[in-house]
């Protein structure tokens, strides 16, 4: 599928994606999936191909969003929607619970803490949601709630990727 080449866009590498979806093998089928910084849409499209019930992809870059829409049409994928929006603005509204959430924001923009807070505060997470965070290796994540248990963690190059499981409060 074509991918829009935007400045700062870092599609998740195939190796990382393979590891991630091995971790999520039992979680994605029939799941409601939210991809907050969709970019190329790789994580969302992969989820749909693995029988996710519904995938919502958020993308702020107009051209990247346009490419996502085009790819959705090409695939005739009725279970995927791409919304042109700022993830932080979108998450401020009351949410519907999602089972799998991908958080892969632009590096060094300080977006993670706000996103994590809004996901919890506004009802975007199901009771036992799986939350994937991909960030620069040196970043420490301070805002992770105590009921998010680190399930898996790996590094690849300059990237650290983590999978958390939310435990019901």
11 vs 110, which has greater pLDDT?
110
> For residue 70, which of 4, 161, 21 has the smallest C-alpha distance?
4
Average pLDDT over residues 23-52: 96
Digit-coded pLDDT (tens) for 88-141:
999 999 999 999 999 999 988 999 999 999 999 999 999 999 999 999 988 888
d(CA 157, CA 72): 31
Task: For the chain, state the CA radius of gyration.
Answer: 15
Q: What is the DSSP letter of 163?
A: E
Residue 80's pLDDT band (cuts 50, 70, 90):
very high
Q: Domains (ranges, CATH) in the chain?
A: 14-96+115-166 (3.40.50.150)
Q: How many residues does the chain have?
A: 169
Residue 143's pLDDT band (cuts 50, 70, 90):
confident
Cα atoms in the 13 Å half-sphere on the side-chain side of 153 = 9
* Element spanning 84, H or E: strand 80-84
């Amino acid at each position: 599928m074509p991918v829009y080449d935007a400045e700062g866009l870092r599609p998740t590498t195939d190796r990382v994606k393979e590891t991630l979806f091995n971790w999520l093998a039992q979680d994605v089928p029939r799941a409601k999936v939210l991809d907050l910084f969709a970019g190329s849409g790789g994580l969302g499209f992969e989820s749909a191909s693995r029988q996710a019930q519904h995938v919502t992809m958020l993308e702020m870059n107009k051209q990247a969003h346009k490419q996502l829409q085009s790819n959705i049409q090409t695939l005739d994928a009725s279970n995927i929607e791409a919304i042109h929006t700022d993830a932080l603005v979108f998450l401020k509204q009351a949410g519907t619970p999602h089972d799998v959430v991908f958080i892969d924001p632009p590096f060094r923009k300080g977006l993670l803490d706000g996103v994590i807070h809004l996901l919890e505060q506004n009802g975007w997470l199901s009771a036992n949601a799986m939350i994937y965070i991909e960030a620069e290796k040196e970043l420490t994540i301070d805002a992770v709630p105590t009921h998010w248990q680190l399930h898996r963690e790996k590094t690849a190059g300059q990237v650290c990727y983590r999978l958390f499981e939310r435990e019901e409060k």
